[in-house]
């Protein structure tokens, strides 16, 4: 199975639709002079999805031996309009998940 076929299988499983690969977009995100993400985002046309015509997908290695690879998919729906937007949204989401929870008052 090729990398593109692997991503298409993930799209099928997560989103319930078939897809067609459109292009590969290299992205490098730099924050305060440091590279925070660099890789290739695969762009897919979605066939029959109710809300999105496109999807951005990629995978990366993890430190988890039980799940050594993580697949990421981001639908092309507002505010996501490009592969770069998809990467930025995931970076923000991952950063927020690392922040300590705000204390709540009982």
Residue 19 lies in a domain: yes
What range does the domain containing 20 cover?
A: 3-98
Number of domains in the chain: 1
Residue 103 lies in a domain: no
Q: Minimal CA–CA distance to 21: which of 6, 10, 8, 2?
A: 8
pLDDT, residue 61, reads: 87
Q: Is the pLDDT of residue 67 over 90?
A: no
Residue 36 lies in a domain: yes
pLDDT, residue 97, reads: 78
Residue 87 lies in a domain: yes
Residue 94: both structure tokens together: 């991952």
Distance CA 56, CA 2 (A): 17
pLDDT, residue 101, reads: 56
Distance CA 44, CA 28 (A): 20
pTM, rounded to two decimals: 0.86
Residue 104 lies in a domain: no
């Amino acid at each position: 199975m090729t990398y593109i076929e692997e991503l298409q299988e993930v799209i099928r499983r997560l989103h319930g639709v078939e897809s067609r690969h459109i292009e590969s977009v290299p992205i490098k995100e730099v924050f305060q002079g440091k590279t925070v993400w660099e890789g290739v985002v695969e762009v897919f046309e979605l066939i029959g999805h109710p809300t999105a015509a496109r999807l951005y997908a990629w995978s990366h290695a993890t430190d988890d031996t039980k799940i050594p690879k993580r697949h990421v998919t981001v639908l092309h729906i507002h505010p996501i309009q490009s592969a770069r937007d998809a990467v930025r949204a995931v970076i923000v989401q991952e950063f927020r998940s690392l922040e300590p929870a705000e204390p709540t008052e009982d």
